[in-house]
Chains A and B, each alone.
Chain A
Amino acid sequence: MANMISVTVNGKLHTSDVEPRLLLVHYIRDVLNLTGTHVGCDTTSCGACTVILDGVAVKSCNVLAVQVDGSSITTIEGLAKDGELHPLQEGFWEEHGLQCGYCTPGMIMSAYDLLQKNPDPSEADIRYGLSGNICRCTGYHNIVKAVKYAADKL
């Protein structure tokens, strides 16, 4: 019962046979071996699995791989260009926007969506934009600063 999908991930086209029940996050991690996208709660709550799907942030644990046939996806691995960190990655480094780092890829992908829609966000805008992502280390203060850093740089 496999379905054929073609999907562009980080600029590269992948054609795969997938079972309809395969979740997008498992396709990304287990089929494409892009393990920067994390599985956190697996219940659409924590945002650790966030990726950019056709330009917007989505929780990939709540999307089926068959749904993204013909789509374009960016994961955390697709942000750095020619060895240069994306300003968001640099911001998390410079502002110490993480402790354990588990939520970080999802935080960065949500922030990426936020900055696309709102290049100059206030602190309240950043907190609203990251409301779908949970950090269990209570590190929101520096995460907000990291996003602000990236916004200023972009």
Chain B
Amino acid sequence: MIPSTFEYIAPTSITEVADLLSKHGEDAKILAGGHSLIPLMKLRLAQPKILIDLKNVNGMNSITEGSDTLVIGGMSTYYQLQSSELIKNKVSMLSDAAADVADPQVRNLGTIGGSLSHADPAADLPAVVIALNATIVVDSSIEERFINAEDFFVDLLTTQLRANEILREIRIPSLINRGGSAYLKFANKASHYAVVGVAVRIGINDAGICEDASVGVTGAGTHAVRAVETERMLLGNKINEDVIDSAAQESVASVDEFLSDVHASGEYREQLLKVFAKRAIQLAVSRVS
């Protein structure tokens, strides 16, 4: 399968990228790791006239620690996330989830920024960044915007990114790893995409009361969401099996419409979500130190 013709440009700065995006509008597409876009181009479901490769833009694949945040460049690959000591120590759920994406070759090139901007409903990382209370930083060179991860995803393959903006980095509060966390998915056997995936982060005090809970869901609906009702049922309560079970049942309330496709019916996804929410909460609770 051969893509249709296009012009390829690899600028060295965000300003140049943004200028090209402004100039070419819908005709332009950004290339990161290419593991969603190039397959779509080969199928000619995407036919950009201008392909703007971010590979030469400086600093976009760095992972650094600020005073209270981890800053992950949008071009960081899944393999970087999986192997970075900083990520493993500070946000283990992100390295665990990255290590469970697709396969080694895909993880060597696929990027977090590409995955989040593409907003595939079955991608893993959208649920994880929601549960990590991440901020997505987008840049048009004349304006930068800080968007809460849960607000970033708006519909099927649709985010808040405007036509002239680049997803520059992801910021994660660096103390977020306190407590326990877990990402679990029911994976498609062939692609390893999440039919349903649930990311949970939970903090429990010495009295056994949940003081902090954050739950992201992917795969179930058109886009990743925060399971607000599940969080509400955990917060302030003494954590036991009954509370976990009720909270997991409520996870379905956050999904407006369950996807139904060849991999699973909407009804089945709803059932999977309840089961995986429960298992992910249980696993996160078991990891609270």
Instruction: Evaluate contact between B104 and A113: CB separation under 8 angstroms.
Output: yes
Instruction: Evaluate contact between B34 and A64: CB separation under 8 angstroms.
Output: yes
Instruction: Evaluate contact between A42 and B1: CB separation under 8 angstroms.
Output: yes
Stretch at the interface among A44-52, A73-81, A87-95: A44-52
Q: Tell me the A residues contacting B by CB distance below 8 Å.
A: 1, 3, 19-21, 23, 42-45, 47, 50, 53, 56-59, 62-64, 66-67, 69, 110, 113-114, 128-129, 131-133
Instruction: Evaluate contact between B51 and A20: CB separation under 8 angstroms.
Output: yes
| Shortest Cβ distance from B103 into A: residue | A132
| Shortest Cβ distance from A117 into B: residue | B83
A-B pairs, top 9 by smallest CB distance, nearest first, are A132-B103, A20-B8, A56-B108, A132-B105, A21-B3, A131-B103, A66-B8, A59-B105, A57-B105
Q: Which residues of B contact A64 (CB under 8 A)?
A: 8, 34, 38
Instruction: Evaluate contact between B102 and A67: CB separation under 8 angstroms.
Output: no
7 A-B residue pairings within 8 Å (CB atoms):
A1-B5, A21-B3, A56-B79, A62-B38, A66-B10, A67-B31, A113-B104
CA distance A62 to B51 in the complex (A): 15
CA distance A83 to B192 in the complex (A): 39
CA distance A43 to B42 in the complex (A): 9
Known: A44-B35, A44-B39, A45-B190. A67 touches B55 (CB 8 A): yes
Instruction: Evaluate contact between B7 and A20: CB separation under 8 angstroms.
Output: yes
For the A-B complex, the count of residue pairs with Cβ-Cβ distances under 8 Å equals 78
Instruction: Evaluate contact between A131 and B104: CB separation under 8 angstroms.
Output: yes
* Least distance between B51 CB and chain A CB atoms (Å): 7
* Least distance between A81 CB and chain B CB atoms (Å): 24
Instruction: Evaluate contact between A67 and B105: CB separation under 8 angstroms.
Output: no
The reply to whether the CB of B53 lies closer than 8 angstroms to some CB of chain A is: yes
Q: Which residues of B contact A69 (CB under 8 A)?
A: 10
CA distance A58 to B104 in the complex (A): 8
The reply to whether the CB of B160 lies closer than 8 angstroms to some CB of chain A is: no
| Shortest Cβ distance from A54 into B: residue | B108
* Least distance between B84 CB and chain A CB atoms (Å): 14
Known pairs A21-B5, A58-B108, A63-B34. 20 more at Cβ < 8 A? Answer: A20-B6, A21-B3, A21-B41, A23-B2, A23-B42, A47-B105, A56-B79, A56-B108, A57-B104, A57-B108, A59-B105, A62-B34, A62-B39, A64-B8, A66-B8, A69-B10, A110-B104, A113-B105, A113-B108, A128-B104
The reply to whether the CB of B64 lies closer than 8 angstroms to some CB of chain A is: no
Q: Which residues of A contact B209 (CB under 8 A)?
A: none
Instruction: Evaluate contact between B1 and A62: CB separation under 8 angstroms.
Output: no
Known: A113-B104, A132-B102, A132-B104. A62 touches B35 (CB 8 A): yes
Instruction: Evaluate contact between A21 and B34: CB separation under 8 angstroms.
Output: no
Instruction: Evaluate contact between B109 and A63: CB separation under 8 angstroms.
Output: yes
CA distance A110 to B104 in the complex (A): 8
* Least distance between B270 CB and chain A CB atoms (Å): 28
